[in-house]
Amino acid sequence: MSDVTPRPRRSEATRAAILAAARERFAEDGYERATVRAIARQAHIDPSMVMRYFGSKEELFSQVIDVKLDIPDPDELAAEDVGTTIVGYFLDLWERDNVMVTLLRVGVTHPAGAARMREVFRTQVVPAVERFGYDPADAPRRAMLVSSQILGMALLRYVLRIGPAAEMSRADVIAWLGPTVERYITAPEP
């Protein structure tokens, strides 16, 4: 029976509630301490519902960290603003929701999280840097250098929340990191 009119599917509401609760718990506590029971309690449902909707904790997690970076293309920005634009874009990405925090927090301790981080780097960051075309053959190394600066700042600012990192204004972060990122992308071999 292929009925075009969708069933009431009132389950969609609770499914979304579970996902939202899982996102917050994974982001805040990491994989191990974000228990199925804690996620269920926050979503106001029974722990068994989590299994019913997502099969297992591992599968639920893999849906939580499904991330699309959507790094802007070089032709969408002025050539002299490469660094500052990239830094500003990533600040937005980290502040929009807690997916990146989750990815970093879990990626450091859980094998599946680490694998996902490597995959994101290989399939999204490296190709984005390649598109800039300053030195395509060396894109992996330049992508890694950019990632190291961005991830390091995000670690201090959004995960560890160390004073000076959390309090620094957005404009100052961009002003300091922009030239660094620009050099990593555009400078010839040092």
Partner DNA sequence: TCTCGAAGTCAACGGTTGTTGGCCTACGAT
Partner DNA sequence: ATCGTAGGCCAACAACCGTTGACTTCGAGA
For residue 85 the two structure tokens come to: 């634009």
**Closer residue to DNA (CB): 109 or 148:** 109
Using the rule CB under 8 A, give the single segment among 48-56, 72-80, 87-95, 169-177 that binds a second copy. 169-177
- What mask, x for binding a second copy by CB under 8 A, covers residues 120 to 139? -xx-----------------
Q: Which long-range contacts (CB under 8 A, 24 or more apart) does 75-83 make?
A: 82/132, 82/181, 82/182, 82/185, 82/186, 83/177, 83/178, 83/179, 83/180, 83/181, 83/182, 83/183, 83/185
Which residues have CB under 8 Å from 54's CB, separation 6+? 18, 60, 63
> Could you tell me the smallest distance in angstroms from the CB atom of residue 81 to a second copy?
15
Binding positions for a second copy, rule: CB under 8 A: 29-30, 32-33, 104-105, 107-109, 114, 117-118, 121-122, 140-141, 143-145, 147-153, 155-156, 159-160, 162-165, 168, 172, 175-177, 179-180, 183-184, 190
